[in-house]
């Protein structure tokens, strides 16, 4: 391998792909040197495409932590070929990740499909320390003819062979511009990362005791630069019975979640952190819209300066189009206080079916009480039941309240107006 000694700058995007639970997020965190992606052993939770950024004197590598590839579980699920092609868009380097202790037929299919990719690509065999040397050698030998430019065993968790992997990545980077400032490690906003760190600790410590319907709203971050940052955040659960589990005996569970999240947040911010957590119950009922809801929804819509026609169109659309449009309403104490409207879009222009969330309104008096996040979660579940895992929302860049809600729920910005999210499995090392 020939080192680049000239004064040119090299940069590019490296997509980290593989099926769920092979360690993609752990690898990106290890390469970047900071925690920029949530790592959880639990599956069936939400994920979005996160960028981690590593900058050197003459290079910048941007890592794309893509959702795990898996065989679709429903009729409308995207095929592996289309998902693979989407992950490749804009990537200069491909890192296909395997679990050395658990290589499945799904891994072999991914390896075969990506072997044809027109970019530099490496097979990265993770968790090398979980198998014997003989088993590892047999696996490596079986991959020799896979058609990849490099094959390398590593341990992302224990940081084994990562220097060698970075040498390969550095050598493959094309000449290009510095895309991000040198001190930037991710494209995600700090509040999103803080919320994700809190959510991760809740998921890790609660295991299966609480369903995945946990949301985190970071309400306030103050005192940055003073040496002591104060953060106020709410953890929302779906049922009153969950609140006691989250708090734990004499507050033990909430204290554990807070202590472990605070340690990660202090590393992220580089300052001491006073983390104040509250548990709140989303005491709200979500159901599909009915014809009789028109008057209430029209009145609700007027609060936002519209004449109510949007609500009427949404109701008629949901009732007439059925499978192609979903409208949900949020009810508190018998009163409709919010609604969400989503259109299912299937077109040859897209590699997979997607949903455009056209509207999500919550009355001002009921904001920051978990109503918006409850509506969003219910809509995602309703769409997932129809096989939709890709969501788009048009939000004006100056609507900070809306952006805060969506980012807190795992949506990633794509331009000034569009933010998007992919539902998939989260992963452990």
Residue 184 belongs to a domain:
no
Same domain, 24 and 137: yes
Least confident of 306-320, 350-364, 381-395: 306-320
Same domain, 234 and 96: no
The set of residues, in sequence order, having a beta carbon less than 8 Å from that of 284 and lying 6+ positions away, is 330, 331, 332, 337, 370, 371, 374
Domains of the chain: total: 3
Residue after which a domain boundary falls, among 250, 281, 312: 281
Residue after which a domain boundary falls, among 249, 281, 313: 281
- pLDDT higher at 285 or 257: 257
Residue 168 belongs to a domain:
yes
CB 353 within 8 A of CB 383: no
Residue 5 belongs to a domain:
no
| Structure confidence by residue, pLDDT tens digits, 158-186 | 999 999 999 999 999 999 988 888 877 77
> What pLDDT is recorded for position 345?
74
CATH number of the domain at 69, please: 3.40.50.300
**pLDDT over 80 (residue 392):** no
Residue 181 belongs to a domain:
no
Same domain, 265 and 295: no
Same domain, 198 and 327: no
Residue 396 belongs to a domain:
yes
Residue after which a domain boundary falls, among 281, 310, 328: 281
Name the H helices within 33-175.
Answer: 80-88, 105-114, 133-142, 162-172
> What pLDDT is recorded for position 213?
59
Same domain, 227 and 316: no
User: Which structural domain range is residue 72 located in?
Assistant: 10-172
Judging by beta carbons within 10 Å of its beta carbon (0-12, 13-18, 19+), is residue 173 exposed, middle or buried?
Answer: buried
Q: Can you say how many angstroms the Cα of residue 60 is from the centroid of all Cα atoms in its chain?
A: 23
Same domain, 277 and 290: no
Q: How far apart are CA 141 and CA 139, in angstroms?
A: 5
- Identify the CA nearest to 42 among candidates 63, 68, 75: 68
Q: How far apart are CA 380 and CA 361, in angstroms?
A: 16
Same domain, 207 and 343: no
Same domain, 194 and 161: no
Going by the DSSP 8-state scheme, the letter that residue 329 receives in this structure is E
**Structure tokens given for 33:** 């040197």
Q: Are strands 50-55 and 59-65 parallel, antiparallel or unpaired?
A: antiparallel
Residue 215 belongs to a domain:
yes
Name the H helices within 115-189.
Answer: 133-142, 162-172
Same domain, 159 and 203: no
Same domain, 16 and 156: yes
| Structure confidence by residue, pLDDT tens digits, 326-354 | 888 888 878 888 888 888 876 545 556 67
| Structure confidence by residue, pLDDT tens digits, 256-267 | 999 999 998 998
Residue 77 belongs to a domain:
yes
Residue 151 belongs to a domain:
yes
| Structure confidence by residue, pLDDT tens digits, 80-112 | 444 445 556 678 999 999 999 999 888 888 898
Q: How far apart are CA 307 and CA 425, in angstroms?
A: 41
Print the SS3 string covering 245-286.
HHHCHHHHHHHHHHHHHHHHHHHHHCCEEEEEEEEEECCCEE
> What pLDDT is recorded for position 322?
59
Q: How far apart are CA 64 and CA 140, in angstroms?
A: 25
> What pLDDT is recorded for position 168?
95
CATH number of the domain at 257, please: 3.30.300.20
The terminus-to-terminus CA distance of the chain in angstroms comes to 29
CB 357 within 8 A of CB 419: no
Mean pLDDT of the chain: 76
Same domain, 121 and 199: no
> What pLDDT is recorded for position 383?
84
> What pLDDT is recorded for position 37?
56
**pLDDT over 50 (residue 425):** no
Q: How far apart are CA 231 and CA 223, in angstroms?
A: 9
**pLDDT over 70 (residue 41):** no
Same domain, 415 and 321: yes
């Amino acid at each position: 391998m020939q080192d680049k000694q000239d004064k040119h700058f090299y940069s590019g995007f490296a997509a980290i792909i593989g099926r769920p639970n092979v360690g993609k997020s752990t690898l990106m965190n290890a390469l970047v040197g900071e925690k920029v992606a949530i790592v959880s052993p639990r599956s069936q939770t939400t994920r979005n495409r996160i960028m981690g950024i590593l900058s050197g004197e003459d290079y910048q590598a941007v890592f794309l932590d893509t959702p795990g590839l898996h065989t679709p579980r429903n009729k409308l699920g995207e095929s592996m070929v289309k998902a693979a092609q989407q992950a490749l868009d804009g990537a200069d380097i491909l890192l296909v990740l395997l679990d050395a202790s658990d290589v499945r037929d799904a891994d072999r299919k991914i390896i075969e499909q990506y072997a044809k990719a027109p970019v530099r690509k490496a097979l990265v065999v993770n968790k090398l320390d979980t198998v014997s040397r003989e088993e590892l050698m047999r696996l490596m030998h079986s991959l020799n003819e896979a058609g990849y430019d490099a094959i390398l065993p590593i341990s992302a968790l224990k940081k084994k062979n990562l220097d060698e992997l970075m040498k390969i990545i550095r050598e493959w980077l094309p000449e290009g511009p510095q895309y991000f400032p040198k001190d930037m490690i991710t494209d995600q906003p700090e509040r999103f990362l803080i919320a994700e760190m809190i959510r991760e600790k809740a998921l890790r410590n609660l295991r299966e005791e609480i369903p995945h319907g946990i949301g985190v709203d970071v309400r306030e971050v103050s005192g940055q630069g003073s040496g002591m940052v104060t953060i106020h955040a709410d953890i929302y659960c779906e049922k009153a019975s969950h609140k006691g589990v989250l708090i734990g005996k004499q507050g033990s569970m909430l204290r554990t979640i807070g202590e472990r999240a605070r340690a990660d947040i202090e590393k992220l911010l580089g300052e001491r952190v006073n983390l104040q957590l509250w548990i709140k119950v989303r005491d709200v009922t979500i159901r599909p819209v009915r014809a009789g809801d028109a008057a209430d929804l029209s009145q609700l819509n007027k609060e936002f300066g519209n004449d109510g026609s949007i609500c009427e169109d949404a109701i008629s659309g949901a009732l007439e189009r059925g499978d192609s449009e979903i409208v949900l309403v949020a009810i508190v104490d018998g009163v409709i206080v919010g609604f969400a409207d989503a259109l299912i879009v299937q077109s040859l222009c897209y590699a997979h079916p997607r949903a455009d969330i056209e509207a999500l309104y919550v009355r001002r008096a009921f904001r920051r009480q978990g109503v918006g996040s409850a509506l969003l979660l219910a809509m995602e579940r309703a769409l997932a039941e129809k096989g939709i895992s890709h969501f788009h929302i048009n939000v004006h860049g100056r609507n900070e309240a809306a952006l805060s809600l969506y980012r807190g729920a795992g949506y990633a910005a794509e331009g000034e107006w569009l933010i998007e999210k992919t539902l998939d499995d989260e992963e452990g090392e």
